Amino acid sequence: MIIVAKATQEPNNGPVDYVEVCLPQYRIVLQKQGRFAYAWTFNPDDHAIAELRQNLPFRQGLRETWLYLMGQPWQSPLRMRIIDFRHDYQPLHCPGEWRQYCIPSEWCITEFADRPNWPPIHFWFLVDQIESVQPPADVRDRTRFRPLFRDKYQMYGRMHFGFFQ
């Protein structure tokens, strides 16, 4: 499964993903702990969550689930392997059992204070790998990013995300 997140189609939107700022901190936690907790604000429906639940927690030899993050419009220079997740329709703190995997600035948050127009956090992903994608993946490539659902989550754009296979 592939999840494409925080994409933008318009070049003048500026940076969309705060991960560029926090990436060095995530890498430190990953190196020390072997994984890190990653907060996500999107709140998909039950169908998408059930599909994700079927793929996780990650077990060796089964399908992997990757979260592709956007850099330039339509281009993903980075992906992270998700090994587990927690979700709630209400704002969600990092799960207690994952606190050692959080970076300090995200220890007990349910929203991003520096992003007042963003929705609250509804997902926490547990990630065990960060990979650079070179050249960056073009998320419009339907041979690489085939929609997982027919009715929605097939597009990516500002404030949208997609589920692909």
**What pLDDT sits at residue 75?**
82
Token pair listed for 140: 């419009």
C-alpha distances in Å from residue 110, one per residue of 24, 31, 64, 92, 129:
21, 25, 27, 5, 24
Report pLDDT for 32.
Answer: 96
Q: Per residue of the chain (165 residues), what is the pLDDT tens digit?
A: 888 876 444 444 454 455 566 788 899 999 999 999 998 888 888 988 988 888 876 666 667 899 988 777 778 888 999 999 999 999 899 999 999 999 888 877 777 776 677 778 888 999 999 999 999 998 888 888 888 887 776 655 545 577 778
Amino acid 97: pLDDT: 94
Q: What are phi and psi of 158, to 5 degrees?
A: -55, 130
pLDDT on residue 119: 79
Residues 131-141 as b or e (16 or more Cβ within 10 Å = b): eeeeebbebee
pTM of the model: 0.84
